[in-house]
Amino acid sequence: MHRESIPVDSFTVLYTLTACTHLHNLPALRHLHAQILKLGYTSNVYIMSSLLNGYSNACFSDAHVLFDEMPDRTTVTWNTMISGFSRLRNATKARSLFDEMPTRNTASWSAMIAAYVNNGRQKQGHAIFRKMVTDEKLKPDEFTLCTVLGGCTRMGMIGFVLGKSIHGFITRNQYELNVELGTTLVDMYAKCGFLKAATMVFDMMQETNVISWTALICGAGQHGYIKEARALFDRMQKEGVKPNELTFTSILSACVHAGLVEEGRVYFKLIEEYGLKPNVHHYGCMVDLFGKAGELENAYEVIVRMQAEANMNIWGSFLNSCKVQGDFKMAERVIERVVEMLRPEKDGDAVMFDVQPINRDDIR
């Protein structure tokens, strides 16, 4: 348009900004920024908010500079910065901005709750949530409820108590139990070990999907309800819901916990029958399963047949199984490869602890 000398209006700038934001195209955003200054659109709140959003996704330092220079800040621009600091794992700075805001809306509170919960500060997130609904009398949207419920899954029994109270809030305020909210509740109860409550919520949902089923299966397997996990997997298939990669990781993990070798084989074969490719988590489960059962040759064969190179978690699991089974000859066959992967350039320090119990001195 510039080459053809066609006038550029504010709508054109907005649409172009949106496209550049989706593409995370920083050079294009900076070029547009220069054109906005040239065209005198800096007083256009919609354009400047859109530009800030683009920068916050492509280069947050540029967003920070722009925010500091903006003469007119809207609630939207404040919320954008809070979310940006959240992505940078800086919940403290996000809270500082939140406290500075002249006015806040529901999205502001939601952004601050997410900043805390997504960065491991669940207690502060729940405190903000309580203040939002109790002191400010604001009605949280479904996204906020899902966020705060997600934080409950990482708080043990306290999380269960908080999650149950939020469930009560949802019921009292007659929220629709749609797929997203219902699945989050199922996941919360299942991960906290309350499979019966999770199943009740699941059965109340008018619509479920593979994520809902997987949340239930995963929770059952994690807390030792192996029979229930397998029954849910079977029921899922009968109802025509196609398992995804995470579903298979969940059911294979359940088999590992229960030592169900033959069942694990069956589920592993099903992965390709459903048109999926086994990933590193599936292979890792099989190595764990065979290793704990003392079938080290089968575990080694799984590693050899992997479509991608085994990572240190898989090798570490295999070597630990060798140690438990007292089969140091098997460990000797792979120790050179493991030592090579432990070099600093291989980024093996994170799993050094898992492999150290079996080194050359131990074997000899």
pLDDT tens string 66-76: 999 998 899 99
- Confidence band of 3 (pLDDT split at 50, 70, 90): low
| CA distances for 45 relative to 35, 110, 279, angstroms | 16, 22, 46
- pTM value? 0.81
Give residue 332's pLDDT: 82
Handedness of CA 325, 326, 329, 332 (dihedral sign): positive
**Mean pLDDT value of segment 91-108:** 96
Give residue 327's pLDDT: 84
pLDDT tens string 216-228: 999 999 999 999 9
Give residue 156's pLDDT: 85
pLDDT at 359 over 70: no
- Confidence band of 8 (pLDDT split at 50, 70, 90): low
Q: With 0-12 CB in 10 A as exposed, 13-18 as middle and 19+ as buried, what is 216?
A: buried
Q: Measured between alpha carbons, how far is 343 from 115 in angstroms, rounded to an integer?
A: 36
**Mean pLDDT value of segment 252-261:** 96
pLDDT at 249 over 50: yes
**Helices 245-258 + 261-273 axis angle, to 10:** 170
Report the chain's C-alpha Rg in angstroms: 26
Q: Measured between alpha carbons, how far is 114 from 208 in angstroms, rounded to an integer?
A: 25
Report helix, strand or coil for 156.
helix
> Tokens 């990933």 map to which residue?
279
Find, among 66, 122, 115, 65, the residue nearest to 94 by Cα. Answer: 115
All structural domains of the chain, each given as residue ranges with its CATH number in brackets, are: 1-72 (no CATH), 79-175 (1.25.40.10)
pLDDT at 242 over 90: yes
pLDDT tens string 192-223: 999 999 999 999 999 999 999 999 999 999 99
The H or E element that residue 339 is part of is helix 328-341
